[in-house]
Amino acid sequence: MSSQQLFAVTRLACKNMVRWRWRLATIFLLVAGSFSLFVLYSSMLSVSAQIGVAQTEELSLPYDLMVMVEEGDRIIPEKELPTPRFRRDILEFGEEALALSFYTNFGRQEIFGISEQSHFFKVDTVHLIEGQWLQKTGEMVLPLSLAKSYNLKVGDFVQGYTLNKNGVQLRATFVLVGLYENTFDWQHAFILRSDANQLVFNAQSNRFFVEYDRSEAELIHLLEWMKSAYPKATFLYPTVTLVMGNDLLKQIFQPGQWLLILIFMFMGIGVLTVSLITFLERRRELAVMKSIGVSNAQIVYALSLEQGSAGLFGVLSGAVLIFRLGRRISWFSQVSSSNLSLYMLQGALFTLLVMIIGISFPTILAKVATVNQLLFARNIPIIITRIDHLAKPSGWILYREMKENLHFLKFDMVDGRLEGVLLKAVGDKVKRGEVIATQEMYFGLRYHEWKAPCDGIVAEYNPNSGHMGILPDDPQTPHYPYPEHILQDELHHQKQMEAGRAKARAEKELSEMSIGSK
């Protein structure tokens, strides 16, 4: 398109915009509304998520990660752990423990059976405020808050029992030797591992406490490693609450994502409807444009410019609206500029996509239609197929093409009827490229045309199979160049068939002769 043509078409499009201003205003409003709604709603979700996460605190734990395996599972010895994707010495220290349920008069308590030389649970790490740490069997240490709530003092005895799988009770009595302050986000009673082993049948470690090399790796790597070693286990680590909070927020806001999709679907249907209605009203105008020599590219350019401008101004106005409305919304100031830019970019891209879908259908119709179709036709086909050879050649027909020098076409038949119009009958002369049959499908959106493959005469027509054989005027007329292997395979197959038939005939004749001679 030359610059003069471009200028002329642009000028025409500008005049069209004035004429169709209310239609374009509708597209403009749909885009502006949807875009601003998308950005504002996305921002609102993001701020809500930020607030939700900010209100979730990290846990205070004496270890970096605790692995809790399910009942029946066991802690894998450190050396047998699977090889991690990264360096193995990320694991600074690992300690096993046995957790068990201990039923007392005060209710069920989870007790940790730990080693005497525990790395994580000892006087240095827990704030012992009264008594002493575990030294020998039969001793127990409790958090101060728990002891207070049960009215227990150092020196008191704690009686209780555990239950094995068969419901048999194993009773035990411990003396309370120490109380520690709850500076961590957990409350557990501690006994020595040897005591715990006595209380549980087939006592195996079911807790694994880990300290990792913080300077070298991230917790996420450790977690990944442990998850690969214990796929069914539960994990406790300082930021587990943040992760759970985020997951929870995602679940809460999931329906919101659908709403965002609905916004754009609504916009797309709106844009498509408006531009389709406008196209139907402009059919005559488009026909005139085509009749005076406006090319398809120029028509597509003009239509896209008209409706694309409405979309572009819609996005820009939507952006202005967002900032105007944002001043009146209390939470809007909390949206980070990077998030806002991202949502605007996403909104603009979705708008572009929806606009392309909405505009393209009527634009394609305008592009493919002939002048007469625009002026008179009820349906304008978008998909046009023209065929002048067998599209899916069957072996037998191909063989006949070669043997009898017929050129075949195959129409789409339903119950012995061509679903369209047959323009030629047996005995009619045809010219190469002449339309022999046409068919409209899918509400007229698809148009199918069969053309004569050669100059000749219609020699046969089978209304059941839809095959039409054309005998060429010139016997040397080349056939459609089907792939060589199909032809060779078929020739070979048919020759074998003929040889078989000939053999059967010969055998039959021979047997008849022998019966005759007898």
Partner 1 sequence: MSLSDRPILETINLNKAFYLGEAVYAVNNVNIQVMPGEIAIIVGPSGSGKSTLLSLLGGLDRPISGDILINDQSIVKLNEDQLALMRRKNIGYVFQFFNLIPHLSALENVELPMSIASMSRKEARERARYLLDEVGLTPRAHHRPDQLSGGEQQRVAIARSLANRPAVVLADEPTGNLDSKTRDMVIDLFCRFNKTERQTFVLITHDTSLTQYAHRVITMKDGRINTIEVQNP
Binding site for partner 1 (CB under 8 A): 2, 4-5, 7-9, 11-12, 15-16, 18-19, 284-285, 287-298, 367-368, 370-373, 375, 420-423, 430-431, 433-435, 438
Backbone φ, ψ for residue 325 (5° rounding): -70, -35
Output the smallest distance, CB 421 to partner 1, in A: 4
CB 219 within 8 A of CB 64: yes
Query: How buried is residue 180: exposed, middle or buried, by Cβ count under 10 Å (0-12/13-18/19+)?
Result: buried
Quick one: 108 or 429, whose CB is closer to partner 1? 429
CB 445 within 8 A of CB 383: yes
Quick one: 100 or 303, whose CB is closer to partner 1? 303
Which residues on adjacent β-strands are paired with residue 130? 179
* CA pair distance 182, 145, nearest whole angstrom: 7
The order of strands in the sheet holding 456-462 is 407-410, 467-472, 456-462, 429-430
Query: Tokens representing 459?
Result: 């020699």
Distances in whole angstroms, Cα of residue 112 to Cα of each of 76, 170, 345, 349, 435: 18, 16, 53, 56, 89
Report the run of H or E that residue 344 belongs to, with start and end.
helix 337-368
Q: Is 211 helix (H, G, I), strand (E, B) or coil?
A: strand
Q: Strands 169-181 and 139-143, how do they pair? A: parallel
Output the smallest distance, CB 21 to partner 1, in A: 11
Output the smallest distance, CB 451 to partner 1, in A: 9
Quick one: 12 or 144, whose CB is closer to partner 1? 12
* CA pair distance 225, 428, nearest whole angstrom: 79
Quick one: 429 or 505, whose CB is closer to partner 1? 429
Output the smallest distance, CB 292 to partner 1, in A: 4
Contacts of 489 (CB under 8 A, 6+ apart): 395
Pick the closest to residue 270 from 307, 299, 303, 309 (CA basis). Answer: 307
Output the smallest distance, CB 508 to partner 1, in A: 48
Quick one: 183 or 291, whose CB is closer to partner 1? 291
Output the smallest distance, CB 285 to partner 1, in A: 6
Quick one: 9 or 274, whose CB is closer to partner 1? 9
Output the smallest distance, CB 328 to partner 1, in A: 40
Output the smallest distance, CB 419 to partner 1, in A: 11
Pick the closest to residue 490 from 387, 389, 403 (CA basis). Answer: 403
Quick one: 234 or 370, whose CB is closer to partner 1? 370
Output the smallest distance, CB 449 to partner 1, in A: 8
* CA pair distance 137, 147, nearest whole angstrom: 20
Quick one: 345 or 421, whose CB is closer to partner 1? 421
* CA pair distance 406, 426, nearest whole angstrom: 13
Quick one: 304 or 494, whose CB is closer to partner 1? 304
Quick one: 11 or 88, whose CB is closer to partner 1? 11
Output the smallest distance, CB 376 to partner 1, in A: 9
